[in-house]
Amino acid sequence: MNISVFFDREFHMKIPYDSLVGFRLFCEKQGLYSSYNMSEQRMDLYSSLHQERVCIFSENKGKASQDFVQEILRLLAAGGLSSLTDQGKAANSVPGLSILLDVTEGMHGHSPSILIEHQPLVDERLRNMLMSELNENKMAFQLKEVPAVPTASGRLIRIKCRLPQLTETSSVYEQVKLILARAIMRYLHRYHQEKPFAYLPADKQKAMLKRLWSSSESVPSRETEEAGEASSAEIKEADSQKTIQAVKREAKAEIFFDYTVLPPQKDSEGEGFLINGNLYMKNTGNEILHSPVICIKVPAGQGVSLQGQIIPPRMVSGMATIGSSGEKGWRYVYEDWRERVKSKGEYWITSIQALQINPGETAVFPAYKITIDYAEERNAIAIGGFVYFNEGKHVFSSNNSISFSF
């Protein structure tokens, strides 16, 4: 008995019933979704993104914005997304990712400007994924938190792109389009990070499955069989080791403050404490950590402030250190970082350059200074922190806090 295999509801091929269990498990391990209808002797396969719902639209009715949206939708559709819409009125009704994308041409000479607006409860991984892609491509951007909209989900983001004249610098237009499409695709594949097959366009997935199955049905010669038997033990051992390594892959990190407290001089009135230190991020797992986003939390409104070589977003291009690989240093995540510190006591900081921490290695956010104003009513202080890695997929709190009593 043969089973009919359908891919995205289109007939694809037939497989023997005895191969059903193994073939279905193989497909699921590649990041595909499968279902089996016993009465119809039918197996259905779907792209890993078939359950995702994405709405990308523009309130700008200009041709640049509308074309930009359509081109990104086309790139995502080729990647396997079937539920796409550019209808803005559906943004709040779509239970998935919604992006309001506006493009303006002929702004600010030849330097593109990108502003990402999000609500307080935005999905951290979505926000960090966009930041990571823009940082890796050395594209300047600003991040701004806006008041929450009661009817909007945590996956609604507004992106405003101000680009040069497209006829003069079409490469900038192309670069921004690919950055955004890549960030969206990486975010949607958040559950299939270790399944490269899932990233292939749907037509390539279909072709590869059919090619693999066709080659497995060919009849081997006796010589091939003997060679296969001779090496089967080695192959099984190698596969076993690969499986063990894959199972044991784990993201772990040790985050800790190293600091020195300098009390005020004797007989000095009104002076506060000064804290000098570094924040260390050690990769103690066996998975690469990248794109750290640091949050240092201080008591809000109690005269505690963080200082250091941290650059506001809009000043990165003029103040960042220039190295052989481009701009380097640390920057505030948000343009309105002062307001966030005042209201929440949170300093959000990220690396200007693409930063990767391999297993066993340590990265440092260096030479921060914290000043604490003198206050008679205060008798203790506590400052904590945590770090997001891999576009927010992993988050680790600091092992220690900066704490002492007056």
pLDDT of 170 > 70? The answer is no
- Can you spell out the DSSP letters for 85-104? E--GGGTTTSSSEEEEEEEE
Range name among 46-55, 86-95, 341-350, 370-379 with the lowest pLDDT average: 86-95
Whether the pLDDT of residue 369 is over 70: the answer is yes
Question: What pLDDT, on the 0 to 100 scale, is given for residue 316?
Answer: 81
More confident residue, 333 or 405: 333
Confidence band of 150 (pLDDT split at 50, 70, 90): low
Q: What is the CATH number assigned to the segment(s) 253-405?
A: 2.60.40.290
Mean pLDDT check: name the lowest of 47-61, 334-348, 377-391: 47-61
Least confident of 22-26, 169-173, 230-234: 230-234
Give the CA distances from residue 207 to residues 81, 200, 202, in Å, rounded to whole numbers and listed in that order: 18, 11, 9
The pLDDT score that the predictor gives to residue 89 is: 52
Q: CATH classification of 54-188 is 3.60.70.12, yes or no?
A: no
Instruction: Give the DSSP per-residue string, 294-337.
Output: EEEE--TTSSEEEESSEE-GGGHHHHSEEETTEEESEEES-TTH
- Report the pLDDT averaged over residues 182-190: 82
pLDDT in tens, 95-106: 677 888 888 876
Q: Supply the mean pLDDT for the chain.
A: 79
* pLDDT for 370: 93
Q: Which residues contact 250 (CB under 8 A, 6 or more apart)?
A: 285, 286, 287
Q: Please state which of the ranges 49-53, 80-84, 184-188, 249-253 shows the lowest mean pLDDT.
A: 80-84
**Per-residue tokens: 162:** 């101000």
Q: How far, rounded to the nearest angstrom, does the alpha carbon of residue 331 sit from its chain's CA centroid? A: 18
**Arithmetic mean of pLDDT, 277-296:** 92
State yes or no: pLDDT of 350 exceeds 90: yes
Domain spans in the chain, listed from the N-terminal domain onward: 2-46+196-247, 54-188, 253-405
- 97 DSSP β-pair partners: 54
Strands laid side by side in the 33-37 sheet: 10-16, 2-7, 42-46, 33-37
**Region 68-91 average pLDDT:** 74
User: Does 339 or 127 have the greater pLDDT score?
Assistant: 339
Q: Which of 172-176, 252-256, 373-377 has the lowest mean pLDDT?
A: 373-377
pLDDT in tens, 221-277: 444 444 445 455 555 555 555 554 545 678 899 999 999 888 887 766 667 888 999
> Are 390 and 324 within 8 A, CB to CB?
no
| Per-residue confidence (pLDDT) for residue 162, from 0 to 100 | 80
Distance CA 97, CA 181 (A): 13
